[in-house]
Structure formats: C-alpha cells, structure tokens
Amino acid sequence: MYLIAGSFTAKEESKQELVDMARDLIPSSHEEAGCVSYNFYEDKMKPGHFLFFEEWKTREAISEHFEKTYFKHFAERFPDMIIGDASIKIYQVSDVEHV
C-alpha cells in the first residue's frame, strides 16, 4: 500500500475556489480502481492550511491517477493558488497494524 500526505496553505483570495476544486476531484478519485481512500481537510487550528491524505493499492495506481484529466486540471491551477510550496510525500507501507 502507498500513502500520500500533502499539506499547503491557500492564498486567501483562492481559498474557496481551491476547496471547490478539491471537492470536485475527490469523487472521481474514489472511483479509480487503485484508490483506497482520498481525503482533504482544513486544519481548524490554522485556517487556510489544508491536508490531503490518500491511500493507494499500488504505485502504478498513483501514476495513473496523476495522468487523469481531472487531476491534471487541478495540478495545473494549484501552484498559483497556494503560498509557497506544497509538501507532498509518498510513503510505501509494508505492514499495517489495526488497533
């Protein structure tokens, strides 16, 4: 399994549009065969700061996701809507313990 953890801060003037774009991205992403979960959150302690947390079955599924038209549309507009750079990390998980 693979996890993607991302965080970024939205420009105030772009915040609502960015939220709307993310909401549009999520249902299509959930429908992808390799998607286990795909979530987007605003940090209530730091308004305007957002987190993505995704689970994918394979690295290939992530690569396929990055090639989807709806993801490319999001990715093209995203950099101009945030302050600084986003932090995006992909983790390969070899074992999961459920407690």
Q: What is the 3-state secondary structure (H, E, C) of 11-77?
A: CHHHHHHHHHHHHHHHHHHHHCCCEEEEEEEECCCCCCEEEEEEEECCHHHHHHHHCCHHHHHHHHH
Q: Does residue 8 lie within any of the structural domains?
A: yes
What's this model's pTM, rounded to 2 decimal places? 0.89
pLDDT in tens, 41-56: 999 999 899 999 999 9
pLDDT at 98: 87
Residue 31 is part of a domain; what is its CATH number? Answer: 3.30.70.100
Residue 38: domain span: 2-92
**Residue 67: per-residue pLDDT:** 97
Mean pLDDT over each residue of the chain, to the nearest integer: 95
